[in-house]
A and B are shown apart, each in its own frame.
Chain A
Amino acid sequence: MPAVQDTIDRVRKIDVDQYKYGFQTEIAVDKAPKGLSEDIIRFISAKKDEPSWMLEWRLEAYRRWLTLEEPTWARVHYPKIDFQDIYYYAAPKSTPGPSSLSDVDPELLKVYEKLGIPLREQEILAGVQKTDASELEEPSDNVYKSGRVAVDAVFDSVSVVTTFKKELAQAGVIFCSISEAIREHPELVQKYLGSVVPTSDNFYATLNSAVFTDGSFVFVPKGVRCPMELSTYFRMNEKNTGQFERTLIIAEEGAYVSYLEGCTAPQRDENQLHAAVVELVALDDAEIKYSTVQNWYPGDAEGKGGIYNFVTKRGDCRGDRSKISWTQVETGSAITWKYPSCILRGDDSSGEFYSIAVSNGYQQVDSGTKMIHLGKNTSSRIISKGIAAGFSQNTYRGQVSAHRKATNARNFTNCDSLLIGDQCGAHTVPYMEAKNSTAQFEHEATTSKISEDQKFYVMQRGIPEEEAIALIVNGFVKDVIQQLPMEFAVEAQKLIGISLEGSVG
C-alpha cells in the first residue's frame, strides 16, 4: 500500500502549515477596476475581444442577476459577500491572449512547475520515450509528468496556455480556452453555451454568466475517442479577486472524453470567491467522464481565510445511451457549495456521481448531486463518502427524481459519513421523488465514527496514530478512489491524508 505509506511520509514532513500550495507569485497584472457594473462587463468582454452577441448575453445575465437573492438553503454560514469589493478581472500582463508556449512568461511557467504541472510539451513528450529505470519505479507519482495529459492552464482570469492542441486537432478534438472558442468556434459556443445551465439558473450561475472570464472548451466530434486525458488547472493568485470559470464540454455521437480539473490558491487571510459553471453535453452513445480534485485553500486552523467555492456543474445526457460520470475529491475551500448533476434526457442514458468530501478545521461542505430522470430506462448511481474532522460540518445533499415519462428509471444511492473526533458534524439530506410507478430507487446511508476500538487495533500492530487514521480513512473511501484514473487515485489518497493532518490529538 504505497499510497498510504506516502501519505504518512508527507504528513510527517509537513510542519505547522499543511497547505503546500499556499505561496503567491508576484506577477504584473492587468486588472479591471474593483466592483461590478455594466461597464465592468463591457470591460471584460472588450478585453477578450468578444463578438457582440456574447456581450449581450452577459449583460442580460447581469440584469437578471440584479433581481436575484443569494440563496440561503445550504447548511453553510458565512458573512454576507460584498460583491462590489471584488475584482472581476485580473490577467498576467505578459499574456494578451492565447499564446504558444514560447510566449508564456517564464515566471508563470515556474508557478505551474512549482505546482507539479510542467507546461512544456517537448519535455513531456521526451519524457514518454525516456523510460529509464528510475522513472519506471515511480510512474504514478505525478500524472502531469507522465505526458499523457493535455493541460489548459488558467491563471486568475485568463487561460495562459493549452498544451497538445495540435495533436488533439489531428484527432478532430478541439481543446482550448473558452475565450478562444468564443472567437474561433462561435457556432458551437452559441449552440451549446447556457443550454445545460441557463443564465437564469441560480444566483451564482447567473453571476458567472455575466462575468465569466476563462475556462476550458472541449469538443469531441462524432465517433472520436479523445486520445489523451484532458485537464484544466485553475490557479487563483491575485488578492481580492474572484475566479469565474466557465467550462463547456461537448461529446458528439459515440464520442468519449475523460477530463480532469485541479485547482489551488495562495494562502490569504481574506476569503476569495470562486463561482464556476461547468456544462457537459453528451449526444447519442457518447460518454463523458469528469473528475475533480479540488484543493482550494481551506483557511487556517482558526477558520480565517479560504476560498468560497460556489459552483454549478451539470451534465446533460441529451442523447440515447449516453453516459456522464462525475467523480470528485473535495478537500479544500472554506465553504463548498457544489452539486454536480445529470439530466438523464436520452433513453437508456446513465449518470454517475462518486464523491469524497473531506472537511477539517472550520471547513463547511454542502455538496451532493441531482439525478433528473427524464428518459426511459435511465439509470443513475450515487456513491458519496463524507469525512468530517476538527470543527467542520459536512453535508450530503442529493436529489433523485423520475419524471412521469421516465419508465423503469433506476437509482442506487449510498451515502456514508465518517466522523473523526466529536466536534464535527455530518448530515445527509436526500430528496427522492418518483412520478412514475415503475421507478426503482434505493437509498443506503450510514454514519460512523472511527471507533477507538478500530484505532487501538491498528495501532496495536505498530502503526502510529495518524497513519492508523489515514489507513482507516483510505479504506473507507476506496470505492470512490477506484473510479479515478489510476494516477489521480494515488494523488487523491495522498491529499486525503494531508487534509486530515492534525485531526487527532
Chain B
Amino acid sequence: MLEIKNLHARIVDDGTEIIRGLNLTVKAGEVAAIMGPNGSGKSTLSYILAGREDYEVTEGDILYNGQSILEMDPAERATSGIFLAFQYPMEIPGVATMEFLKVAMNEQRKARGEEPLKIPEFLKRVKEAAASLSMDMAMLKRPLNVGFSGGEKKRAEILQMKLLEPKLCVLDETDSGLDIDALKIVSDGVNALRAPDRAFLVITHYQRLLEHIVPDSVHVLYKGQVIKSGDKSLALDLEANGYAGVIGEAA
C-alpha cells in the first residue's frame, strides 16, 4: 500500500536535510510502528506523507497504491485516503467540532463523486463513533480542539479517523499526553479500525502504546533513515536496552 523509496527531504526555509534516503514498505492490513530517538525525523516523515509544504522532497518517491503522491496537495492526499492523527491537533476557534466533521466528511464524499450525507445519517454515525470513544456529544458542540484537554484532543483525532474511514492511517505520537485510561480508549479505537484493506503507521517514542496496539512490524528511524526493521520483539528490545545499541550496530 505504501512504498517509500530512497526518500530525501529538507526544510524549505533553511535547507536542512531531515530525511536522508529513507526506505519503507507497508502492506495493506499491516500495522507498522516507527520508533526512534528525538530528532530522528519521525514527525517530519508524517508531515511529508500528509503533504506539508514546509518540506521539499529532493530525491526519491512516495508511492501510495502504486501511484506517486508527491504532486498532490494535503487535501487531495486526504481524500485519496491518507489520514494523519496529529501529535498537536490545531485549535479552530468559532468552528464547532460537529460542523467541522460535517464539512470534512462531505468534502471527501464530494471528491469521490458521492452525495452529501443526509443530516440524520450524519448524526447517527457521529453518535456511534463518539460513544465508542466515550466522548460526550456536548463536547462536539464546542469549537474544534479549543480548550480541549490533551486527552480530548487525541480522542477527537481518532473520532475524525473513524468517521473519515481512511485507508492509510498515520498516528503521530498519539500516546503523548494520555493517561492510562485514555490510552486504552484511544488504542481500542484504533484496534477496532484494523482491517485487511487498511494500513497503519504508528509513530511513537515508547513501547507502552505498542502493548495496546500490537504492531506487525517495527522500524527504527535514526538520522532520517530506517536503520533497523523487525517484528514486535524489536520494540521490547529497544525498551529494555535503549536506542544506543541499535544505533551503534548501524554505524
In the complex, which residues of chain B have a beta carbon less than 8 angstroms from the beta carbon of A49?
none
Is B89 a contact of A464 with CB atoms below 8 Å? no
Counting CB contacts under 8 A, is B230 at the interface? no
Alpha-carbon distance A115/B53, docked complex (angstroms): 41
Q: A1-B103, A5-B103, A460-B50 are in contact. Are A465 and B93 (CB under 8 A)?
A: no
In the complex, which residues of chain A have a beta carbon less than 8 angstroms from the beta carbon of B164?
461-462
Is A1 a contact of B75 with CB atoms below 8 Å? no
In the complex, which residues of chain A have a beta carbon less than 8 angstroms from the beta carbon of B50?
456, 460
Counting CB contacts under 8 A, is B160 at the interface? yes
Is B90 a contact of A457 with CB atoms below 8 Å? yes
Is B108 a contact of A462 with CB atoms below 8 Å? yes
Counting CB contacts under 8 A, is A263 at the interface? no
In the complex, which residues of chain A have a beta carbon less than 8 angstroms from the beta carbon of B160?
461
User: Chain B's nearest CB lies how many Å from the CB of A496?
Assistant: 12
Is B94 a contact of A475 with CB atoms below 8 Å? yes
Alpha-carbon distance A477/B94, docked complex (angstroms): 8
Is A474 a contact of B78 with CB atoms below 8 Å? no
Is B103 a contact of A463 with CB atoms below 8 Å? yes
Is A475 a contact of B54 with CB atoms below 8 Å? no
Is B107 a contact of A454 with CB atoms below 8 Å? no
User: Chain A's nearest CB lies how many Å from the CB of B106?
Assistant: 7
In the complex, which residues of chain A have a beta carbon less than 8 angstroms from the beta carbon of B150?
none
Alpha-carbon distance A1/B102, docked complex (angstroms): 7
Is A460 a contact of B84 with CB atoms below 8 Å? yes
Alpha-carbon distance A457/B46, docked complex (angstroms): 13
Q: A457-B89, A462-B78 are in contact. Are A478 and B106 (CB under 8 A)?
A: no
Alpha-carbon distance A464/B72, docked complex (angstroms): 11
Q: A453-B90, A472-B92 are in contact. Are A463 and B143 (CB under 8 A)?
A: no
In the complex, which residues of chain B have a beta carbon less than 8 angstroms from the beta carbon of A454?
90-92
In the complex, which residues of chain B have a beta carbon less than 8 angstroms from the beta carbon of A474?
94-95
Counting CB contacts under 8 A, is A459 at the interface? yes
Residues 434-474 of A, flagged 1 when their CB comes within 8 A of B and 0 if not, give 00000000000000000111101111111111011001101
Alpha-carbon distance A69/B41, docked complex (angstroms): 63
Residues 468-488 of A, flagged 1 when their CB comes within 8 A of B and 0 if not, give 100110111111000000000
Counting CB contacts under 8 A, is B148 at the interface? no
Counting CB contacts under 8 A, is A424 at the interface? no
Counting CB contacts under 8 A, is B29 at the interface? no
Q: Which chain B residue shows the least CB distance to A478?
A: B94
Select which of A457, A459, A468, A475 is within 8 A of B93 by beta carbon: A475
Counting CB contacts under 8 A, is A4 at the interface? yes
In the complex, which residues of chain B have a beta carbon less than 8 angstroms from the beta carbon of A452?
53-54
Alpha-carbon distance A467/B107, docked complex (angstroms): 9
Select which of A5, A458, A464, A465 is within 8 A of B92 by beta carbon: A458
Is A463 a contact of B54 with CB atoms below 8 Å? no
Select which of A456, A458, A467, A476 is within 8 A of B94 by beta carbon: A476
Counting CB contacts under 8 A, is B4 at the interface? no
In the complex, which residues of chain A have a beta carbon less than 8 angstroms from the beta carbon of B90?
451, 453-454, 457-458
In the complex, which residues of chain A have a beta carbon less than 8 angstroms from the beta carbon of B93?
475-476
Q: How many residues of A contact B (CB 8 A)?
A: 27
Of the candidates B54, B74, B86, B106, the one having the most CB atoms from chain A within 10 angstroms of its own CB is B74
Alpha-carbon distance A457/B108, docked complex (angstroms): 15
In the complex, which residues of chain A have a beta carbon less than 8 angstroms from the beta carbon of B102?
1
Alpha-carbon distance A467/B108, docked complex (angstroms): 13
Counting CB contacts under 8 A, is B123 at the interface? no
Is A4 a contact of B107 with CB atoms below 8 Å? no
User: Chain A's nearest CB lies how many Å from the CB of B126?
Assistant: 14
Alpha-carbon distance A451/B84, docked complex (angstroms): 18
Q: A452-B53, A459-B73, A459-B74 are in contact. Are A479 and B103 (CB under 8 A)?
A: no
Is B99 a contact of A1 with CB atoms below 8 Å? yes
In the complex, which residues of chain A have a beta carbon less than 8 angstroms from the beta carbon of B111?
462
Alpha-carbon distance A474/B94, docked complex (angstroms): 7
Counting CB contacts under 8 A, is B79 at the interface? yes
Alpha-carbon distance A477/B108, docked complex (angstroms): 25
Is B78 a contact of A461 with CB atoms below 8 Å? yes
Alpha-carbon distance A457/B47, docked complex (angstroms): 10
Q: A461-B78, A465-B73 are in contact. Are A456 and B92 (CB under 8 A)?
A: no
Residues 92-120 of B, flagged 1 when their CB comes within 8 A of A and 0 if not, give 11110001101110111001000010000
User: Chain B's nearest CB lies how many Å from the CB of A413?
Assistant: 19
Counting CB contacts under 8 A, is B141 at the interface? no
Counting CB contacts under 8 A, is B127 at the interface? no
Q: A452-B53, A453-B90 are in contact. Are A471 and B95 (CB under 8 A)?
A: yes
Select which of B79, B89, B116, B143 is within 8 A of A475 by beta carbon: B143
In the complex, which residues of chain A have a beta carbon less than 8 angstroms from the beta carbon of B51?
460
Select which of A5, A451, A459 is within 8 A of B106 by beta carbon: A5
Alpha-carbon distance A463/B77, docked complex (angstroms): 10
User: Chain B's nearest CB lies how many Å from the CB of A474?
Assistant: 7
Is B89 a contact of A472 with CB atoms below 8 Å? no
Is A462 a contact of B95 with CB atoms below 8 Å? no
User: Chain B's nearest CB lies how many Å from the CB of A400?
Assistant: 25
Alpha-carbon distance A93/B250, docked complex (angstroms): 89
Alpha-carbon distance A56/B78, docked complex (angstroms): 69
Q: A452-B53, A454-B90, A465-B73 are in contact. Are A460 and B78 (CB under 8 A)?
A: yes
Alpha-carbon distance A476/B94, docked complex (angstroms): 6
Is A462 a contact of B104 with CB atoms below 8 Å? yes
Residues 17-59 of B, flagged 1 when their CB comes within 8 A of A and 0 if not, give 0000000000000000000000000000000001111100000
CB within 8 Å of A: which of B164-209? 164
Beyond A5-B106, A467-B103, A478-B95, 12 additional contacts (C-beta under 8 Å) are: A1-B99, A1-B102, A454-B92, A457-B90, A459-B75, A460-B77, A461-B78, A462-B79, A462-B111, A471-B92, A472-B95, A476-B94
Query: What would be 17 A-B contacts, judged by CB atoms less than 8 Å apart?
Result: A1-B102, A1-B103, A453-B90, A456-B74, A457-B86, A460-B50, A460-B74, A460-B83, A461-B78, A462-B79, A464-B75, A467-B103, A471-B103, A472-B92, A474-B94, A475-B94, A479-B94
Enumerate the 10 nearest inter-chain pairs by beta-carbon distance, A residue then B residue, closest first.
Answer: A475-B94, A478-B94, A475-B95, A462-B78, A461-B104, A457-B90, A1-B99, A459-B74, A462-B108, A459-B75
